[in-house]
Amino acid sequence: MPSGFLRPHASRISFFQRLADATLIFSILGVAEVYFDVIFGVEYLFAAVMAVIFFFFLAENRGLYGSWRTSQLLDEIREVLVVWLMVALILITTAFLTKTSAYFSRQVVLTWFVLVSLGLLVVRFLVRWVLRYVRRNGANLRSVAIVGHNQIGHRLVKHLNAMPWAGLRVEGFFDCRERDDATVEIGQLNYSLETIDDLFRRIGSNEIDIVYVALPLTSERRIEALVGQLADTTASVYVVPDVFTSELVQARWVNFGGMPLVSVYETPFSGLNGWVKRMEDLVLASLILMIISPLMLGIAVAIKMTSPGTVLFKQRRYGLNGAEVEVWKFRSMTVSDDGAQVAQAKLNDARITPLGAFLRRTSLDELPQFLNVLGGSMSVVGPRPHAVAHNEMYRKLIKGYMLRHKVKPGITGMAQVNGWRGETDTLDKMQSRIDCDLEYIQSWSVWLDLKIVMLTVMRGFVGKNVY
């Protein structure tokens, strides 16, 4: 079997994968109707057609039918589930707004949503299993050349070696300078070290499929010249950004009217992701408020009966893009500090009421912030908002502190479920909290939000540093 056996059939594989997805969506709905003895009507046919249309649209938008050769299986699983969850939310919202939900069996719809998600995952598992099998037997491999005998290139080789399922075989390093025959040892494996002339010779003889240019951005002219020369070949070419770019928040290449730019500091919630995040917030906040409204009413009565003052306390915070917002909380202190100097709550703080101490330990004082979520100034999941006075202090002490305001503040977040709640009496503690916030912004997904919500329910309501 030749090494590029599947390459001419890539478009056909993508077509059959789309066909399999559409067949799954239609057939599982039909099976669910038969199982629950529901008559197949035009409303179910319309729902299936709309589900396929929305699924294909969202899948194309998120690159689901592109090559996953160099991506982790978990990344593909996450994208599949995100797309199908978005389709489910769209259909449910449409049925609610058009008042047609009564035409559908809840058992059928729930079974459909669950089994389709499982079926889509099974298809991806099978495709990866088949590709892994043929690559293990020497087929569908891609030969890789790395331009740059440096730290960037060495790190790339280690990354490729950690992904054997990708079927990428590193042929060697190619350096711009003349060298005698030599080898490079990385992780107990030896790779040849050749010249750029050798690279073009091997590309011309079809020995190289992919070229990774792993030169530092300071070598702009060398990169430009090399990429220009490679344009006259049939090899696929990728420029590997150096560590400066790869460690920046949301750093990625973007197209600006035909001009490629590196996006350095940007929100992950632009375009479609922003709509998805907002829909997620509205659905979660509405469901949670319906569940906790009796509890909130009881807390409000208890606060009014046990201490003088208002039930709710509003404090100024920095929200999206650094704009000031008012965050609502149940009052837990005898004072309402919101000035230029705001002291964090400490152990045995005299300002905290007896009921307030319980509310703060259990995070019940944060429940009114679900109203902030409905109003659009907060999200269910995101970096916790700090007092304005604390922001102005820490932005001068911690690099990248204000990047956390590229997204809306949240009721819970990655920092909270990782134990960084409550008092931050040292700079290291605040640094750890900010590191979690920036990691969340870099790796956001709907699945990550749902995971954080579940972890909050299981372990995030209490903390040893919460006073």
Could you state, in order of their start, the residue ranges of all structural domains in the chain? Answer: 7-136, 142-247, 272-460
Whose tokens are 């992904």? That residue is 163
Backbone dihedral angles phi then psi of residue 107, each to the nearest 5 degrees: -65, -45
pLDDT for the residue numbered 9: 39
Is the predicted pLDDT of residue 336 greater than 60, yes or no?
no
User: Which of 53-62, 175-184, 447-456 is the least confident region?
Assistant: 175-184
Please choose, from the candidates 347, 443, 349, 429, the residue with its C-alpha nearest in 3D space to the C-alpha of residue 394: 429
Residues 6+ apart with CB under 8 A from 128: 68, 73, 76, 165
**Cβ–Cβ < 8 Å for 183, 193:** yes
pLDDT, average across residues 334-356:
62
pLDDT for the residue numbered 88: 93
State both tokens at 385: 């908002």
pLDDT for the residue numbered 40: 78
Is the predicted pLDDT of residue 321 greater than 70, yes or no?
yes
Mean pLDDT computed over every residue of the chain? 80
**Helices then strands, each counted (H, E), the chain:** 15, 12
Residues 6+ apart with CB under 8 A from 426: none
Please say whether the dihedral angle defined by the alpha carbons of residues 452, 456, 462 and 467, taken in this order, is positive or negative: positive
Portion of the chain with pLDDT greater than 70, in percent:
79
User: Which of 67-81, 319-333, 356-370 is the least confident region?
Assistant: 67-81
Helix (H, G, I), strand (E, B) or coil at 381: strand
If pLDDT is split at 50, 70 and 90, which confidence band does 246 have?
Answer: low
> How far from 332 is each of 152, 365, 419, 463, CA to CA, in Å?
52, 7, 22, 17
| 297 compared with 346, residue with greater pLDDT | 297
| 424 compared with 462, residue with greater pLDDT | 424
Please choose, from the candidates 417, 390, 418, 420, the residue with its C-alpha nearest in 3D space to the C-alpha of residue 327: 390
pLDDT for the residue numbered 390: 77
pLDDT for the residue numbered 86: 92
pLDDT for the residue numbered 1: 38
At 383-405, the pLDDT tens digits run 988 877 778 888 888 887 888 88
pLDDT for the residue numbered 229: 86
pLDDT for the residue numbered 143: 86
**Cβ–Cβ < 8 Å for 344, 325:** no
pLDDT for the residue numbered 452: 92
Residues 6+ apart with CB under 8 A from 328: 312, 313, 314, 368, 369, 371, 372
- d(Cα 172, Cα 258) in Å, to the nearest integer? 33
pLDDT for the residue numbered 289: 93
Backbone dihedral angles phi then psi of residue 302, each to the nearest 5 degrees: -65, -40
At 185-225, the pLDDT tens digits run 787 778 888 888 889 988 888 888 889 888 887 788 888 88
pLDDT for the residue numbered 73: 73
Helix (H, G, I), strand (E, B) or coil at 49: helix
pLDDT, average across residues 407-419:
89
| 450 compared with 177, residue with greater pLDDT | 450
- d(Cα 138, Cα 75) in Å, to the nearest integer? 25
pLDDT for the residue numbered 248: 54
pLDDT for the residue numbered 282: 94
If pLDDT is split at 50, 70 and 90, which confidence band does 65 have?
Answer: confident
Architecture of the structural domain at 142-247: 3-Layer(aba) Sandwich (3.40)
> How far from 301 is each of 330, 355, 399, CA to CA, in Å?
11, 12, 43
Helix (H, G, I), strand (E, B) or coil at 262: strand
Is the predicted pLDDT of residue 114 greater than 90, yes or no?
yes
Within 36-180, residue ranges assigned H as helices are: 42-61, 73-97, 106-136, 151-161
- d(Cα 115, Cα 392) in Å, to the nearest integer? 50
pLDDT, average across residues 233-242:
79
- d(Cα 458, Cα 295) in Å, to the nearest integer? 18
- d(Cα 229, Cα 226) in Å, to the nearest integer? 5
- d(Cα 145, Cα 163) in Å, to the nearest integer? 16
pLDDT for the residue numbered 247: 52
pLDDT for the residue numbered 139: 61
DSSP designation for 231: T
Is the predicted pLDDT of residue 240 greater than 70, yes or no?
yes
pLDDT, average across residues 403-418:
88
Is the predicted pLDDT of residue 461 greater than 80, yes or no?
no
Is the predicted pLDDT of residue 445 greater than 60, yes or no?
yes
> How far from 352 is each of 295, 349, 385, 387, CA to CA, in Å?
21, 6, 20, 17
Portion of the chain with pLDDT greater than 90, in percent:
22
